[in-house]
């Protein structure tokens, strides 16, 4: 199994919470896309199997035209090959999804849309500095279906100042009323290098209390499970058979290649991270150089990464894999594991260690306490 991630590093405007790599400068976009084509060609030998998943992330990939998407896919096919029935996802913002754009995206070969709805409340969308309003969000969902998309994911944010529990429940139910195959939902985190980070330092913003965020997380679990969605990762829910194949391959530690500024790659041994600077990335590729740094993971890093990613998922940790990595988790943390089991936070069945629904709420703390080294 192999996956390809394409980082499209442009946005119309900066959302106040976002610390992904993007630029709102619309100049030199075609040079940047050309550089990404070049990087893909130079990375030809990176993957040894045809692509089963391709993911256009960003940034805002829905700013691409249909022919630009099609030409990335044609190059991916030529360079790596694409396996039968691939999952090809494009992240999209509601304001970009006109009827024409939706048809162009579909005709280019995209078969899964991940739509950044974030909220159905205009005041909160404004507060987050999103480029769309609630009406555009609703329209994009209806028209995506009309355009023939049968695999749609909705992104929502909770723990936003001003979002109370009742209103969050209403938003979840409204999202589910479109019957998306998948939902991703993240708690608003205030990152230092964002507008919200600045507001926090200036005393203009107060974080939502942990307890309130926890109540919203638990309400989300209740509402979505009642509506038939399975929580297969802390922040991800799906109808049966519709978990994100691409993101699952990250959590299951399969090799993937990331193309574009700031993109990450993993070949099973090393991680690579590309330079997060659009002009310098393009300049390096013009001279056939991939501006990327490699990090060889130490044995302890590998164990901790495995714990960090797998404990977030319904698949949990496989003790046999940990043993192969040189770790004896039950020997190292036996009394902690017993305590978590008594508290109903964790279950061990055979060789599998999984967090319970309640344990997922405390995943960060539990993982930290189980880490090696
Ligand atoms: S959240 Fe998405 S649309 Fe908003 S700035 Fe970040 S990458 Fe761009």
pLDDT digits 0-9 by tens, 323-372: 999 999 999 999 999 999 999 999 999 999 999 999 999 999 999 999 99
Indicate whether residue 79 lines ligand 1 (CB < 6 A): no
**Superfamily of segment(s) 2-251:** Aldolase class I (3.20.20.70)
Give the residue extent of every domain in the chain. 2-251, 299-370
Tell me the best of 60, 124, 276 to mutate to test the pocket of ligand 1, counting ligand atoms within 8 Å of each CB and taking the most: 60
253 band by pLDDT with thresholds 50, 70 and 90: confident
pLDDT in tens, 46-101: 998 999 999 999 999 999 999 999 999 999 999 999 999 999 999 999 999 999 99
Is there an atom of ligand 1 within 6 Å of 93 CB? yes
In DSSP notation, 300-364 reads: HHHHHHHHHHHTTBTT-EEHHHHHHTT--HHHHHHHHHHHHHHTTSEEEETTEEEE-HHHHHTHH
Task: State yes or no: pLDDT of 296 exceeds 80.
Answer: yes
pTM (two decimals): 0.96
Q: What SS3 class is residue 10?
A: strand
Helix (H, G, I), strand (E, B) or coil at 209: coil
Please report the pLDDT score of residue 177 as a whole number.
Answer: 98
- Reading the block at residue 195, the tokens are 């507008």
pLDDT in tens, 101-159: 999 999 999 999 999 999 999 999 999 999 999 999 999 999 999 999 999 999 999 99
pLDDT at 268: 80
| Per-residue pLDDT tens digits for 9-29 | 999 999 999 999 999 998 889
- pLDDT score at 252: 80
Query: Residue 15: CB within 6 Å of ligand 1?
Result: yes
- How much is the pLDDT for 306? 92
18 lines ligand 1 (CB under 6 A): yes
Report the C-alpha gap between 119 and 342 in whole angstroms.
37
pLDDT score recorded for residue 304: 95
- Residue 59 Cα to ligand 1 midpoint, Å, equals 6
**What are the DSSP calls for 115-171, one per residue?**
EEEE-S-HHHHHHHT-S--HHHHHHHHHHHHHTT---EEEEEEE--TT--HHHHHHH
| Residue-level pLDDT at 254 | 86
Contact (CB, 8 A) for 245 and 52: yes
Residue 18 Cα to ligand 1 middle (Å): 6
pLDDT at 94: 98
Which pLDDT does position 269 carry in this prediction?
81
Residue 2 contacts residue 50 (beta carbons within 8 Å) = yes
In angstroms, what is the span from residue 60 Cα to ligand 1's centroid?
Answer: 7
Q: How confident is the model at residue 198 (pLDDT cuts 50, 70, 90)?
A: very high
Whether the pLDDT of residue 1 is over 80: the answer is no
Q: Does the C-beta of 20 come closer than 6 Å to ligand 1?
A: yes
Give dist(CA 307, CA 367) in Å, integer: 7
- Using 50, 70 and 90 to split pLDDT, how confident is the model at 251? confident
Backbone angles phi, psi at 259, to 5 degrees: -115, 140
User: Which residue minimizes the CA distance to atom 7 of ligand 1?
Assistant: 59
195 pLDDT band, cuts 50/70/90, is very high
CB 59 within 8 A of CB 8: yes
What's residue 353's pLDDT? 97
Token pair belonging to 8:
């499209």
Classified as helix, coil or strand, 177 is helix
* Domain range 299-370, CATH architecture: Orthogonal Bundle (1.10)
| Residue 235 reports pLDDT greater than 90 | yes
Q: Is the CB of 94 under 6 A from ligand 1?
A: no
């Amino acid at each position: 199994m192999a996956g390809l991630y394409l980082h499209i590093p442009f946005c119309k405007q900066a959302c106040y919470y976002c610390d992904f790599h993007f630029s709102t400068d619309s100049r030199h976009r075609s040079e940047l896309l050309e550089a990404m084509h070049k990087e893909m060609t130079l990375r030809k030998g990176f993957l040894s199997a045809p692509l089963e998943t391709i993911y256009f992330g960003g940034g805002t990939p829905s700013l691409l035209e249909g022919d630009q998407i099609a030409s990335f896919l044609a190059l991916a096919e030529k360079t790596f090959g694409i396996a039968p029935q691939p999952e090809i996802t494009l992240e999209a913002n509601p304001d970009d999804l006109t009827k024409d754009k939706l048809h162009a995206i579909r005709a280019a070969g995209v078969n899964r849309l991940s739509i950044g709805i974030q909220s159905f409340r205009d005041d909160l969308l404004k507060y987050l500095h999103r480029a769309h309003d609630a009406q555009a969000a609703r329209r994009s969902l209806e028209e995506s279906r009309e355009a023939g998309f049968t695999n749609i994911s909705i992104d929502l944010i909770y723990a936003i100042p001003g979002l109370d529990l009742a209103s969050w429940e209403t938003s979840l139910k409204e999202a589910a009323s479109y019957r998306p195959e998948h939902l991703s939902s993240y708690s608003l985190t205030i990152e230092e290098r964002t507008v919200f980070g600045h507001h926090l330092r200036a005393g203009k913003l107060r974080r939502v209390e942990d307890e309130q965020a926890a109540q919203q997380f638990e309400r989300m679990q209740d509402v979505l499970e009642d509506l038939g969605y399975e929580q297969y990762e802390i922040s991800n829910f799906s109808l049966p058979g519709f978990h994100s194949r691409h993101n699952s391959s990250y959590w299951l530690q399969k090799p993937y290649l990331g193309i574009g500024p700031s993109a990450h790659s993993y070949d099973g041994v090393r991680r690579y991270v590309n330079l997060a600077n659009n002009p310098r990335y393009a300049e390096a590729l013009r001279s056939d150089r991939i501006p990327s740094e490699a990090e060889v993971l130490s044995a302890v890093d590998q164990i901790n990464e495995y714990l960090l990613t797998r404990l977030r998922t319904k698949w949990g940790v496989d003790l046999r894999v940990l043993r192969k990595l040189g770790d004896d988790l039950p020997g190292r943390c036996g009394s902690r594991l017993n305590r978590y089991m008594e508290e109903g936070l964790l279950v061990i069945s055979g060789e599998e260690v999984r967090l319970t629904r309640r344990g997922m709420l405390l995943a960060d703390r539990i993982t930290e306490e189980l880490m090696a080294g």
